[in-house]
C-alpha cells in the first residue's frame, strides 16, 4: 500500500497580496496529487496537506520560494491512507479566527518554549497553564494541571480572558502584578495568537509551546511526559498519542467531533449520521440526507470510485473551515 506524507504548516507573516496566491497554489497542489486545506490571509498561511512525498515537497518548495515564506516550518507524519478527500485553498480574514483585529502575532507573540523545557516551566507553581483549544479537544486529552476555558470556538477565548482577568479570576493580578502564563495548542498556531492577545492586555511573561502538542508528543519520551490522553487532529487520522502513534478515536461525519468506542455503543450513534454529541441538533431531514451520503460513500468504496473528493469551486473559496 502506498505511503502518504502529511505536512502541517503555518506562518504569521504580512501577505497583503494573499489572494493572488490562491489560484497558482491550488493548481500546483492538484497537479501534484496533494489534498488538504490551506488558508490564506493578510496575516499569513495555515493548513495541512497530504499526498505522495514528491508532491508535498514540491508544494512546500513552491511556498518557500516566496521570500516572505522562506522560513516556513512544517511538521511531518506518515500514513498508509490519504488523510483528506479533496484540496481547498481558501481566502480568509484570519488564518485562525479570533476576531480581535488589534492582535498581530507576527509582532506580539509570547516566548517560545522548546518541548524539552516545557515540563520545567509548567511545573513551576507560579505559572498558570492554559489549554487554548476547544472543549471537545480538551476532553480527549490535555496536560496535567491545565486550565480548560471551556470554549466551543476560538473566538470565545478573548471573552474568557477578559472575565478571568477580573478580581478572583485565574488570570487576575496579584499585588498589582499579572501572573506568568503558559499556553498551548495542537500545532502552535492558536497559542501563538493567544499569547499575542495576552501581551496586548498587558501580560509581560507569556510563553507558548513551540511546535504545539504534536511536537511535544513526538519528541518527549512517554516516561517523562505530562500529557494525558490523546491529541485531536482536524483530519482523517482523528487523534494521535505519544510518538504520534495512531489514536483510538474515529470521527462523526455529521458534527466532526471525535467519537470514542463508548460513544459508538450509544443508541444515538449511527455511522455517518449522528453521535451522542449532535443527535439532538439535527433534523430528521438532515439525518436522511446523511444516511444517503453514507450509502453513496460505501457504494463508491466498494466500486473503488471517488465520491467525496471533488475539486474546489469558486463558491467554495470563502466557506468557514477549522483553523
What pLDDT, on the 0 to 100 scale, is given for residue 234?
77
Is there a single domain that holds both residue 17 and residue 63? yes
What pLDDT, on the 0 to 100 scale, is given for residue 308?
54
232 domain residue, yes or no: no
What pLDDT, on the 0 to 100 scale, is given for residue 315?
36
CATH of the domain at 140: 3.40.250.10
Q: Is 185 considered catalytic here?
A: yes
What pLDDT, on the 0 to 100 scale, is given for residue 215?
92
What pLDDT, on the 0 to 100 scale, is given for residue 144?
95
Is there a single domain that holds both residue 44 and residue 86? yes
Is there a single domain that holds both residue 25 and residue 76? yes
What pLDDT, on the 0 to 100 scale, is given for residue 318?
35
Is there a single domain that holds both residue 154 and residue 186? yes
Give the domain-ending residue among 192, 219, 246.
219
13 domain residue, yes or no: yes
Which is catalytic among the residues 185, 231, 252, 275?
Answer: 185
Is there a single domain that holds both residue 190 and residue 271? no
What pLDDT, on the 0 to 100 scale, is given for residue 323?
38
Is there a single domain that holds both residue 123 and residue 182? yes
Is there a single domain that holds both residue 190 and residue 126? yes
Q: Provide the domain count of the chain.
A: 3
What pLDDT, on the 0 to 100 scale, is given for residue 159?
98
Host domain of residue 200 = 105-219
Residues lower than pLDDT 70 in the chain: 1-2, 304-323
Is there a single domain that holds both residue 135 and residue 185? yes
pLDDT per residue over 128-164, tens digit each?
Answer: 999 999 999 999 999 999 999 999 999 999 999 999 9
314 domain residue, yes or no: no
CATH of the domain at 29: 3.30.70.100
What pLDDT, on the 0 to 100 scale, is given for residue 292?
92
CB 55 within 8 A of CB 69: no
Is there a single domain that holds both residue 109 and residue 215? yes
Amino acid at each position: 500500500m502506498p505511503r502518504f506524507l502529511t505536512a502541517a504548516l503555518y506562518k504569521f507573516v504580512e501577505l497583503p497580496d494573499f489572494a493572488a496566491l490562491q489560484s497558482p497554489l491550488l493548481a500546483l497542489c492538484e497537479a501534484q496529487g496533494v489534498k488538504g486545506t490551506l488558508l490564506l490571509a493578510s496575516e499569513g498561511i495555515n493548513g495541512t496537506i497530504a499526498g505522495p512525498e514528491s508532491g508535498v515537497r514540491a508544494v512546500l518548495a513552491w511556498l518557500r520560494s516566496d521570500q516572505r515564506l522562506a522560513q516556513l516550518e512544517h511538521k511531518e507524519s506518515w500514513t498508509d491512507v490519504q488523510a483528506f478527500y479533496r484540496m481547498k485553498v481558501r481566502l480568509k480574514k484570519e488564518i485562525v479566527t479570533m476576531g480581535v483585529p488589534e492582535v498581530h502575532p507576527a509582532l506580539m507573540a509570547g516566548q517560545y518554549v522548546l518541548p524539552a523545557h516545557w515540563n520545567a516551566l509548567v511545573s513551576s507553581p507560579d505559572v498558570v497553564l492554559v489549554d487554548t483549544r476547544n472543549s471537545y479537544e480538551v476532553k480527549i486529552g490535555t496536560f496535567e494541571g491545565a486550565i480548560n476555558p471551556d470554549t466551543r470556538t476560538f473566538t470565545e477565548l478573548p471573552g474568557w480572558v477578559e472575565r478571568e482577568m477580573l478580581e478572583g479570576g485565574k488570570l487576575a493580578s496579584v499585588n498589582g502584578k499579572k501572573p506568568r502564563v503558559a499556553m498551548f495548542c495542537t500545532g502552535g498556531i492558536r497559542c501563538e495568537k493567544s499569547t499575542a492577545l495576552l501581551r496586548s492586555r498587558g501580560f509581560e511573561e507569556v510563553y507558548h509551546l513551540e511546535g504545539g502538542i504534536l511536537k511535544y508528543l513526538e519528541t518527549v519520551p512517554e516516561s517523562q511526559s505530562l500529557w494525558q490522553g490523546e491529541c485531536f487532529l482536524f483530519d482523517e487520522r482523528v487523534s494521535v498519542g505519544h510518538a504520534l502513534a495512531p489514536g483510538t478515536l474515529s470521527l462523526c461525519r455529521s458534527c466532526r467531533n471525535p467519537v470514542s468506542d463508548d460513544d459508538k455503543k450509544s443508541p444515538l450513534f449511527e455511522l455517518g449520521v449522528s453521535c451522542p454529541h449532535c443527535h439532538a441538533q439535527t433534523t430528521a431531514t438532515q439525518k436522511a440526507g446523511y444516511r444517503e451520503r453514507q450509502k453513496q460513500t460505501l457504494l463508491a468504496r466498494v466500486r473503488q470510485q471517488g465520491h467525496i473528493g471533488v475539486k474546489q469551486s469558486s463558491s467554495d473559496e470563502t466557506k468557514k473551515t477549522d483553523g
